Amino acid sequence: MPSELATQPAIAAPPLWYRDPISCLQATFGTVLAHHGENPLFVLGAGWEFLYIPDDVRPEEFYYPCRYDGDLGRGLAPHHSLNSSWWRPSDQDDPLRELRRALSEQRLVIAAVDNFHLPFRPAFGDVHAAHLLVVHGLDEELGLVHVSDAMPPAFQGPIPVEDFLRSWGSVNPEDEQDAFFSESRIQQRCLSVTVDAPYPDLTRERLAGWLRANLAGFEQPDTPVGWGGTAGLDRYTRELTSRARAGETSALRSLYTFGWGMQAQAALHGELLRDRGAAWNCPGLAEAGRAVESVAHAWTALRMTGAHGFGAPAEVADDLRWHAGVLRGRYAEALASVERAVGEL
């Protein structure tokens, strides 16, 4: 057993943070933000955009299109000083060294894992799927890793270090029971997150500035990394329908994964606007929040249609086109509603 900081007590268990329909990506970042005393909704709900990066979607629950060279924190929270970076152990003779050091410095770590090897996940011993959780303690004398996972069924507590290592280093093989999040090597990846807190108080003026920036982003047809704005949305849905009609299974596989990020973002942004609309007695802002949430609901229909048509893409092409039209209409309504709300602020 390594002697350096061999026994690391758990950091005080961080608050579990979850919203439906976010993924483990937003849940883990939300947990870290809450641990720092910040309101995750105010941070993760501030930005709203459309961004699709062709050939970038990976079969992981935590995939998110990122324009900032791997800095998922900046991508998730473009209006806040939130940054993150991926890392892997530098020494396979002591793979826990960096994790041990981070915890000794009271820094939470987000780890990529395979649900198949986690005893508290329903998929334990049954289904392989790439997932994220928060590590907040390591006790090598007892052979335990303390983890927090807000995704239902929520869990917070110790697991055997052997289970963690198997999950953290899993090859995550292709699994017919989960066609969307298997076949992506975990590779002992971790995320270090930097929260430059405390953040300024959320005011009407600050929120109005965020909304103007978000609206301007939707008017930009392209970005240096992919398809952006409403023009990018139109381009994406046209190509999705065309590829499905041509029988391309990969188009539907990536839809389910990519769409989750866009859906989660819209859900959080909509909730933030509803929350502040109620708190500040701004009916137009609350109405805009409901309109943005309707975008999230429209993503559900498109994603589920793709998932159920995974085995026969051409047969669901017309349904995908119809749901894509509904989604585009919801975006248009929500953008117009947000623009009106800016005037109210």
- pLDDT above 80: residue 124: yes
State how far the Cα of 74 lies from the Cα of 84, in Å rounded to an integer: 7
- Give residue for tokens 């909730």: 271
Of the pLDDT bands very low, low, confident and very high (cuts 50, 70, 90), residue 1 is very low
pLDDT digits (tens, 9 = 90+) for 34-77: 999 999 999 999 999 999 999 999 999 999 999 898 899 999 99
Q: What is the mean pLDDT of the chain?
A: 94
State how far the Cα of 41 lies from the Cα of 106, in Å rounded to an integer: 23
pLDDT digits (tens, 9 = 90+) for 138-175: 999 999 999 999 999 999 999 999 999 999 999 998 87
- pLDDT above 80: residue 179: no
**30 and 18 in contact (C-beta within 8 Å)?**
yes
Give the CA distances from residue 2 to residues 8, 55, 95, 135, in Å, rounded to whole numbers and listed in that order: 12, 41, 10, 19
- pLDDT above 50: residue 270: yes
pLDDT digits (tens, 9 = 90+) for 201-247: 999 999 999 999 999 999 987 778 899 999 999 999 999 999 999 99
The domains of the chain are located at 7-195, 204-344
Task: Give the count of beta carbons closer than 10 Å to the beta carbon of residue 219.
Answer: 11
For domain 7-195, the CATH class is alpha beta
Which residues, 6 or more positions from 137, have their beta carbon under 8 angstroms from its beta carbon? 8, 9, 10, 11, 103, 144, 145, 146, 158
Q: What percentage of the chain exceeds 70 in pLDDT?
A: 97
The full length of the chain comes to 345
Q: Which two tokens stand for residue 340?
A: 């009106």
Residue 249 burial class via C-beta count within 10 angstroms: exposed 0-12, middle 13-18, buried 19 and up: middle
- pLDDT above 60: residue 111: yes
